[in-house]
Amino acid sequence: MTARIGVVTFPGSLDDRDTQRAIRVSGAEPVALWHKDKDLKQVDAVVLCGGFSYGDYLRAGAIARFSPVMDTVIDQAKAGLPVLGICNGFQILTEAHLLPGGMLGNDHLHFICRDQKLRVENADTSWTSDYSAGQEINIPLKNMDGRYVADQRTLDELEAEGRVAFRYLDVNPNGSLNDIAGISNAAGNVVGLMPHPEHAVEPLIGTGRTDGLPFFTSILKKLVNA
């Protein structure tokens, strides 16, 4: 049976089609989900894609967090549903308190778009098991509000519990504390990151490499072997 992975589209989403394609390339079936619907169509996992949901008014992800679909996503994520938040999706996950901390504007106050080197810190989550801890990868990055912040207690907990999933290497592109590029929840089923793995699944696009593909093969293998 083919694994079905839902991709939520909010007003202002930019990368829903790219994410669906990445899922298809990995061998799973992408399922389009609309922000006004509470029904997740019995998907096996959910991706909150990148973009500027609701124009990033108030704060990035702050309005999308109250979309009807998020009530169901929050409930099912707490029950173990795998959820990946990419860029704006990561921002939404923090606003929904599925992940701790928050996102502020880049410290240089400019939109950034570049290929970004990362180090995989945690290869034990639902979305990272096809990587190896310590592996260095290159993933496209594009954001205006990508600076991850949290109080010191939260940072200490993330570090102590191994919940920093990815860390920026060579350069910190947005001022994120502890060079954090992505984190997970305690259970490892919810992961958020600012870079865009869906833009690095085929050699003809993005970085010209396929460093982002293991996100989608990781969840596929978890679902198939569950």
Catalytic residue numbers, as ranges: 87, 196, 198
Structure tokens at 226: 């569950």
Closest listed residue to residue 21, CA positions, set 222, 224, 206: 206
Angle of helix 213-225 relative to helix 16-26, nearest 10 degrees, comes to 60
Going along 24-66, which residue ranges are E strands?
A: 29-34, 45-48
Decide: 92 and 48 in contact? Cβ < 8 Å: yes
Cα separation, 193 vs 125, whole angstroms: 13
Decide: 30 and 20 in contact? Cβ < 8 Å: yes
Cα separation, 218 vs 225, whole angstroms: 11
Cα separation, 51 vs 225, whole angstroms: 32
Cα separation, 54 vs 13, whole angstroms: 8
Decide: 200 and 139 in contact? Cβ < 8 Å: yes
